Structure 1
Amino acid sequence: MTSAVPAAGAAGTAGPSWTFLTNHGHVLLAVAADPEARVADLAARVGITPRSVLQILKDLEDGGYLHRRHEGRRTRYALEPHQHFRHPAVASREIDGLIGLFAAPTAAAGEDPEERQEKAGEGSTTSRSGEA
């Protein structure tokens, strides 16, 4: 018998004591999903404070994982998907694999993963870095 893990912050429940991705990973994925998101929107999506998001964005920028570009009063984020992970165990891998994993739609029940990959290859050719 399996039991579902309650969502963090659900009424009357405590969130999990740990997760597989750090807040840095979650902010990176949130930026990948919406490069024009406001800090408050990123904070709400990740479940941390705007101040924490700002610090993480600074860390990611200092590490070369993203660049900020100001357009009027808005900030647009451009990811550098070919940067490598920082942990020695996976330092040979680029972050675009993680981004792609979370950006890809989940397979429908019974759908062949190879067919899904072929369909994904037929999609748009937009750049994650925000460059045309």
Structure 2
Amino acid sequence: MDGVPEPHNGWTFLTNHARVLASIAVDRTSRIRDIAARCRLTERAVQKIISDLEHEGYLVRTREGRSNTYRIQPDTPLRHPAEASLSVSELLALLARHDAERGSRQPRP
């Protein structure tokens, strides 16, 4: 089936909430469909995650015509007490640096 994420069993290091937030950081005008594809989640899961992130103050959604634009609140601390000294911007900077380094190691076609 096209468009249906592949199932994943077991645990991962990053939560789906972190994946969605990182996807929005790359493109703050992404459609839910595009975020879902990038994160390998269902659109419904992405809608719920965005709602969670908005409710907790990590994200502000602005409706612009038929589209949404998202603004990440960069100084918001991470939720878990063990990471409470870190902000969302620090997490996203780490992920962006990793993606940049991984991209530079990819062989060019």
TM-score per shorter chain, which class? 0.7 to 0.9
Give 1 or 2: higher helix fraction: 2
Structure 1 stretches of at least 4 aligned residues deviating more than 2 Å after TM superposition:
none
Q: CA deviation at 1:92?
A: 1.3
Larger radius of gyration, structure 1 or 2? 1
Alignment match of 1:18 (pick from 11, 14, 28): 11
TM (norm. structure 1) is 0.69
User: Residue type of the partner of 1:78?
Assistant: R
Alignment match of 2:90 (pick from 97, 101, 108): 97
What RMSD, in angstroms, separates the aligned Cα atoms of the two structures? Answer: 1.8
How many pairs does the alignment contain?
A: 98
Unaligned runs of 5+ residues in structure 2 are none
Alignment match of 1:78 (pick from 71, 75, 78): 71
Instruction: Give me the identity figure in percent.
Output: 42
Unaligned runs of 5+ residues in structure 1 are 1-7, 110-132
Q: Which whole-Å CA distance do the structure 1 matches of 2:96 and 2:53 have between them?
A: 19
Q: Which whole-Å CA distance do the structure 1 matches of 2:77 and 2:83 have between them?
A: 8
TM (norm. structure 2) is 0.82
1:48 match: 41
